[in-house]
């Protein structure tokens, strides 16, 4: 829950703010005036962009776990099998975290 969090990915990209928006999105977001600085300064914008990315994933992959996994795992340099494996591994992490939050 750190609005100004910056993460570094093994592939050399960076992740910004609450939703850890990956720098690979900055070119697409630039046409809307969204920069890494704005993502770090404006938590509402950061969450809005994260929701937009997630909505894009649902539109592309359907309302399933592969879409959830695609939020975290890009597959440009992976085989289809490795891509799906990593996406489902991430989706399971999300699922388990949600289950923990569901407990009274």
Q: pLDDT (tens digit, 9 = 90+) per residue, 32-42? A: 999 999 999 99
pTM: 0.83
Q: How many CB atoms lie within 10 A of CB 102?
A: 7
Contact 22, 14 (CB under 8 A): yes
Q: pLDDT (tens digit, 9 = 90+) per residue, 44-89? A: 999 999 999 999 999 999 999 999 999 988 888 889 999 999 999 9
Task: Please compute Rg for the chain using Cα positions.
Answer: 14
The CA distance from 71 to 19, in Å, is 10
Which strands sit side by side in the sheet containing 14-16, from one edge to the other? 6-8, 14-16, 21-22
Please give the DSSP secondary-structure letter assigned to residue 21: E
Q: Residue 104: which pLDDT band, with cuts at 50, 70 and 90?
A: low
């Amino acid at each position: 829950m750190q609005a100004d969090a910056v993460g570094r990915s093994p592939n050399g990209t960076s992740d910004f703010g609450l939703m850890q928006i990956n720098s690979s999105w900055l070119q697409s977001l630039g046409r809307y005036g969204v920069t890494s600085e704005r993502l770090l300064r404006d938590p509402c914008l950061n969450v809005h962009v994260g929701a937009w990315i997630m909505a894009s994933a649902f539109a592309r992959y359907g309302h399933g776990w592969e879409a959830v996994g695609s939020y975290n795992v890009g597959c440009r340099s992976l085989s289809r099998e490795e891509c799906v494996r990593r996406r489902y591994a991430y989706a399971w992490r999300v699922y388990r975290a949600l289950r923990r939050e569901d407990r009274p």
